[in-house]
Amino acid sequence: MFSPKRFRVGVAMVAGLALFAISAMGQQQQPQTPQQQDVQPLTVGRLRGNVYWAEGGARYPVGNSGIIIGNTSVIVIDAKSTPQSGKDLVDAIAKITPKPIKTLILTHSNGDHVNGIVSFPPGLTIIAQENCKKELDAVNAAGGRGGIPADRLPTHLVKDKEALTIDGVKLVLLHWAPAHTSGDLVIYLPDQKIVFTGDITAQTHPDPSVHGELQASAAGWIESAKGISALDADIVVPGHYGLQTKAGVEDQLHAFEERYAKVKALVKEGKSWEEVKAAVGDTEPRQPSAIAIAYQELSKK
């Protein structure tokens, strides 16, 4: 079962690995809660060796980013949520190293992870899962909020797994199934034992965030969380909030697997959604929730 105490302890242990922080406001501040909805100062902390983690930089929610310093250039994971927070991230990287940013990897298509891309230097290699590119293309075609310039769309697409070395840095890029979106991409650094999960593990409560409108699925989330748990990583950087441990991911996975199994059993008994909701206890304010999506998926079988 999900253990809030175990989760908090695990986060605290991993957070201790951050050896220093650079604040855009000139001082480090405590991360603010989602309820406060305040602008969070950008902070950058070293995780291990040449790998850093950036949080904050705009009004909540703002996605976490990764910074990896290669032999001659910098690899960034996720571009922040606004042009200003993207610029703040670029400026913060310049305080760490004079090496140029040459590669950007996107964990998924949500605007709070990609909209800062307009403030990044031109000519980047932009890596994403192939469905992420389709989702970004769809937003641009619709002409709606969250579109990004054509010259900032992904240029290197990953289907399910790709191991590569970028500027001396070994990375494994992984996509198991639609989980948070249809185009999730997990970035695993085997030498440093660090994994960036995007919003697959970005929650501080048992149920995951599953965007059904982006063809994500509850079953796909379970498959992806199992894949993450199987990696030899002891630092987990989620898409939002503080750092996680493998134990924290496993707690969330096991808790949701139990709830998913309950939904499956109730669907087999012919129960309605209202009956399932009452029995399982779906309290997620944003609907459809992962439990509701699980019910929809299992009802079709």
- As a whole number, mean pLDDT of residues 55-79 equals 90
167: left (phi over 0), alpha (psi -120 to 50) or beta: left
- Mean pLDDT to the nearest integer, 256-277: 96
Averaged pLDDT, 159-167: 98
| C-alpha–C-alpha distance, residues 222 and 257, integer Å | 7
Handedness of CA 45, 233, 176, 158 (dihedral sign): positive
d(CA 117, CA 119): 5
- The model's pTM: 0.86
Average pLDDT, the chain: 86
* 189 Rama sector, left if φ>0, alpha if ψ -120 to 50, beta otherwise: beta
Check residue 21 and give its pLDDT: 29
Query: What is the model's pLDDT at position 60?
Result: 64
| Domains of the chain, start order | 4-299 (3.60.15.10)
19 pLDDT band (50/70/90 cuts)? very low
What pLDDT, in 10s, does the model give residues 26-61? 222 333 444 445 677 899 999 999 999 999 877 666
